[in-house]
Structure 1
Amino acid sequence: MTKEAEYTHGHHESVLRSHSWRTAKNSAAYLLPYLKPNMTLLDIGCGPGTITTDFATILSEGHVTGLEVPNSDILDKARAYAAGRGVTNITFVAGDALALPFPDASFDVVHAHQVLQHVGDPVQMLKEMRRVTKPGGIVAAREADMGGLVWYPEIEGMKEWQQGYIQVARANGGEPEAGRRLHVWAQAAGFPKENLTLSVGPWCYYTPEERAWWSGLWADRTVSSNFATSAIKHGIYTQERLERDAATWRKWGAEEDGWFTLLNGEMIARV
Structure 2
Amino acid sequence: MSYAHGHHESVLRSHAARTVADSAAYLVSSLYPGASILDVGAGPGTITVDLADRVFPGRVVGVDAASDVVEVARAAVAGRTNVEFRVGDAYALDLPDASVDIVHAHQTLQHLARPVDALREFGRVAGPDGLVAVRDVDYGGVIWHPQIPALDEWIETYHGVHRGSSGEPDAGRRLKAWAREAGFTRIDGSASVWVFDTPDKRAWWGGMWADRVLASAFADHARALGLADDALLRRISDAWREWAAHPDGWILLPHGEVLARW
The TM-score with structure 2 as length reference comes to 0.98
Q: Name the CA distance, whole Å, in 2 between partners of 1:99 and 1:225.
A: 28
C-alpha distance in structure 2 between counterparts of 1:220 and 1:65, whole Å: 31
Choose the corresponding residue for 2:129, options 133, 136, 158.
136
1:34 matched residue in structure 2: 30
Distance across 2 between alignment mates of 1:37 and 1:135: 20
Residue in structure 2 matching 1:65, options 61, 66, 69: 61
The alpha-carbon deviation at position 201 of structure 1 amounts to 1.2
Secondary structure of the equivalent of 1:222?
Answer: helix
CA distance in 1, matches of 2:120, 2:85: 22
Distance 2:230 2:91 in 1: 34
Q: Distance in 2 between matches of 1:37 and 1:109?
A: 13
Paired with 2:247 and 2:132, the residues of 1 have a C-alpha distance of: 41
Partner amino acid for 1:119?
L
The answer to whether the Cα contact below 8 Å between 2:210 and 2:236 also exists between their aligned partners in 1 is yes
Aligned residues: 262
Q: 2:195 aligns with which of 204, 210, 213?
A: 204
| 2:85 alignment counterpart | 92
User: What CA distance in whole angstroms lies between the structure 2 residues aligned with 1:100 and 1:120?
Assistant: 16
Give 1:134 shift: 2.8
| Runs of 5+ unmatched residues, structure 1 | none
1:79 and 2:74 aligned: yes
Q: Is the 8 A contact 1:57 1:87 kept in 2?
A: no
Deviates more, 1:126-135 or 1:175-184: 126-135
**Amino acid across the alignment from 1:81:** A
SS of equivalent residue, structure 1 residue 8? coil
**Residue in structure 2 matched with residue 188 of structure 1 by the alignment:** 181
Query: How far apart are 1:99 and its partner, in Å?
Result: 1.2
1:163 to 153, 156, 159: 156
- Counterparts of 1:126 and 1:7 in 2: how far apart (Å)? 18
Q: Distance in 2 between matches of 1:179 and 1:87?
A: 33
Root-mean-square deviation over aligned CA pairs: 1.0
Deviation at 1:157, TM superposition (A): 1.5
Alpha-carbon distance in structure 2 between the residues aligned to 1:156 and 1:230? 22
Tell me, in whole angstroms, the C-alpha distance in 1 between the residues paired with 2:72 and 2:113. Answer: 26
Corresponding residue of 1:127: 120
How far 1:171 moved relative to its partner?
0.7
Cα distance in structure 2, aligned partners of 1:135 and 1:178: 25
- In the alignment, structure 1 residue 110 sits paired with structure 2 residue 106: no
**Counterpart secondary structure, 2:193:** strand
Cα deviations by residue, 1:229-265 (Å, 9 ceiling, x for unpaired): 0111111111111111111111111100111110111
Separation in structure 2 between the aligned mates of residue 229 and residue 154 of structure 1, nearest angstrom: 26
User: Could you tell me whether the CA contact under 8 Å between 1:66 and 1:90 is conserved in 2?
Assistant: yes
Q: Paired residue for 1:270?
A: 261
Structure 1 vs Structure 2: percent identity of aligned residues? 50
Could you state the TM-score of these two structures normalised by the residue count of structure 1?
A: 0.94
C-alpha displacement of 1:152: 1.0
Superposition deviation, residue 73 in structure 1: 1.4
Q: Does 1:53 align with 2:49?
A: yes
Q: CA deviation at 1:35?
A: 0.8
**Tell me, what secondary structure is at the counterpart of 2:43?**
coil
Residue 94 of structure 1 deviates from its aligned partner by 0.8
Task: Answer yes or no: is the 8 Å Cα contact 1:53–1:87 preserved in 2.
Answer: no
What amino acid is aligned across from residue 63 of structure 2 in structure 1? L
Aligned equivalents of 1:173, 1:76: Cα separation in 2: 23
How far apart are the structure 2 equivalents of 1:162 and 1:106?
40
Alignment deviations for residues 85-140 of structure 1 (CA, whole Å, 9 cap, x no partner): x5320111111111111111111000000010001100110010011103221100
Matches within 5 A, 1:165-244: 165-192=158-185, 195-244=186-235
2:243 is matched with 252
Deviating beyond 6 angstroms after TM superposition, the runs of 4 or more aligned structure 1 residues are none
